[in-house]
């Protein structure tokens, strides 16, 4: 199950002036992690793939796959399934009853909810 989806990436083009050109800013919307690069007047497609790879590297450095467990539970006929996403280092869990929906529709939303809870958890620890 993919916790980092290309659908969760937002790309912003920032014009920096005639002498500099354009800057690409790529952000993973759920985690807020960004990667950016001044590309000047180059074709952005040359840089976009590299930036997405850099963003994925930053994401998985901060949130390695081994830190997450996704459970797919069968609740029974007429009820369907449920998903649980566990962040093992913090003990935070996010759950969702998905019924008979395809499982692939839900990890992105669950990851966004998990990132929000992790930010709250981190804020509570620092106060």
The full DSSP string for 80-99 is: EEEEEEEETTTTEEEEEEEE
State yes or no: pLDDT of 126 exceeds 70.
Answer: no
Q: Say how many Å lie between the first and final Cα of the chain, rounded.
A: 34
Of 84, 81, 85, 73, the closest CA to residue 100 belongs to 81
Paired strand residues for 83: 72, 96
State yes or no: pLDDT of 125 exceeds 80.
Answer: no
What is the CATH code for 65-126? 3.30.160
Read off the pLDDT band of 44 (50, 70, 90): confident
Indicate the domain borders of the chain.
6-62, 65-126
Q: Answer yes or no: are the C-beta atoms of 89 and 75 closer than 8 Å.
A: no
d(CA 109, CA 5): 10
d(CA 5, CA 8): 5
d(CA 48, CA 65): 24
State yes or no: pLDDT of 64 exceeds 80.
Answer: yes
């Amino acid at each position: 199950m993919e916790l980092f989806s290309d659908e969760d990436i937002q790309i912003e083009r920032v014009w920096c002036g005639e002498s500099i050109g354009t800057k690409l800013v790529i952000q993973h919307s759920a985690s807020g992690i960004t990667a950016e690069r001044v590309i000047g007047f180059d074709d952005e497609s040359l840089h976009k793939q590299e930036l997405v790879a850099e963003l994925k590297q930053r994401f998985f450095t901060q949130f390695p796959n081994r830190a997450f467990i996704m459970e797919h539970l069968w609740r029974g006929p007429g009820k369907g399934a449920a998903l649980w996403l566990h962040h093992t280092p913090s003990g935070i869990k996010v759950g969702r009853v998905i019924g008979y929906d395809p499982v692939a529709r839900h990890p992105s939303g669950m990851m966004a909810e998990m990132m929000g809870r992790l930010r709250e958890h981190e804020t509570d620890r620092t106060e």
